Structure 1
Amino acid sequence: MPKLVDHQARRLLIADAVHRIIDAKGLDSVSLREVAAEAGISMGAVQHYFATKEEMLAVALQQLNARISVRVAATGESDPLRLVRAAMLEMLPLDETRRFEARIGLAFLARAAVADDLAELFRTGVPHVLGFFAGQLRAAQAAGRVAADLDPDEEAKVLFGVAQGVGQAALLGYYPPEAAAAAVDHHLARLTR
């Protein structure tokens, strides 16, 4: 009887191997051979799921973003401002899991600056984050928790910028985790004044 393979699980296994290689050796070290060895599967199996290295990197980046989204959703938070806070904190390197993801994300961002295919993934992904933040701010406005004259779309850009800037500084050790979280809280507190 043929062996049943969970194709989605296999793609995630490969994406996780890509993440570990990027974290340990850098994005330039990602190759079919390295990924196969790290995932514990054959090169042919990797090629079965990904025709090119670029496709494999794209899925690995999408999986990295999905991990963060799943954790935000798992908070079960319904208050819009607490949900924004939870999302921003998930973007920050506050523990080893998030530091691991932040290092990988920064490697992808650096590559995207010179590789248009990865840059396109960022260009299409960022609007989803901005839309999420803006939607939560609109909900907070409707509940009377945020000033009615605040522009949710513009503020969403600022929230994203705060998370990115604080996250990069924290990753480099400039902000300890408590200070990074406090910076997010400080910014969010000014929205409710």
Structure 2
Amino acid sequence: MPKAVDHQARRRELAEAVWRVISVDGVHRVSVRSVAAESGWSTGSLRHYFPTQDALLVFAMELLADKAKTRIAAIEDTGTRGVLRGIAHALLPAGDEQSIEVEVWLALLARAQVDPGLRRAERDNREALLAALCGLLWRAAAQGELAEDRQPELEAVRLSALIDGLTLACVYSAERITVEAALAVVDRHLDDLLNPASTLPA
């Protein structure tokens, strides 16, 4: 009996080969030929799963987003502060694996300026993050945790922008701004955003 093929696992394998090519040589070096060589697959086999280079890059970006979402979903709900801090930690380049993911994400983000498929994927991921942050902040407001003069929608955008900026700082100014320093900035922001009672550990 023929062995069952896990097509999703094969697609992930190819996306991870894309990440390696980007990490070593840059996004401009990604091609069907270079990814086939990195993965050990033939170009024909690769095209069976991804008929175009654009489709391969979009899937590579979506898989990165899925990995971040999995980390976020695993955060224990110990209260608004803990979850928001956990989200920041899940998105920052904390550790070797996340550092590579962030560097590849930033390379794909630059490419998204001229690639509509990547731009849509990035937009969808950003909207999902904003919706999650907004939901948490509305919950905090209902529970009296959010400072009274704060608007959940606006604060979700502000926190997302803060994490984005700190991520860039950790990548491009790593000798000065560590992940620990970035999280200290997040902590200070959460001190300002949430009422004192909600900052106590659960």
Instruction: Quickly name the TM-score band, shorter chain normalised.
Output: over 0.9
Q: Which amino acid aligns with 2:108?
A: F
Task: Select which of 178, 181, 184 maps to 1:182.
Answer: 184
Instruction: Name the SS for the 1:146 alignment partner.
Output: coil
Identity of aligned residues (%): 37
Shift of 1:78: 4.8
In structure 2, what is the equivalent of residue 101 of structure 1?
101
Taking the aligned partners of 2:76 and 2:188, their CA distance within structure 1 comes to: 23
8 Å CA contact 1:81–1:140 kept in 2: the answer is no
TM-score, normalised by the number of residues in structure 2:
0.90
In structure 2, what is the equivalent of residue 15 of structure 1?
15
In structure 2, what is the equivalent of residue 26 of structure 1?
26
Taking the aligned partners of 1:78 and 1:4, their CA distance within structure 2 comes to: 42
Structure 1 residue ranges without an equivalent (≥5)? none
* Cα deviation digits, residues 85-141 of structure 1 (max 9, x gap): 111111111211111111011101111123233222222221111110000111111
* Cα deviation digits, residues 14-67 of structure 1 (max 9, x gap): 111111111111111111122122222222221111111100100000000110
Stretches of 4+ aligned residues off by more than 3 angstroms: none
In structure 1, what is the equivalent of residue 83 of structure 2?
83
Q: Which amino acid aligns with 1:127?
A: E
Instruction: Name the SS for the 1:56 alignment partner.
Output: helix
Instruction: Name the SS for the 1:109 alignment partner.
Output: helix
Shift of 1:72: 1.4
Structure 2 residue ranges without an equivalent (≥5)? 196-202
Greater shift after overlay, 3-12 or 111-120? 111-120
In structure 2, what is the equivalent of residue 125 of structure 1?
125
Greater shift after overlay, 140-149 or 90-99? 140-149
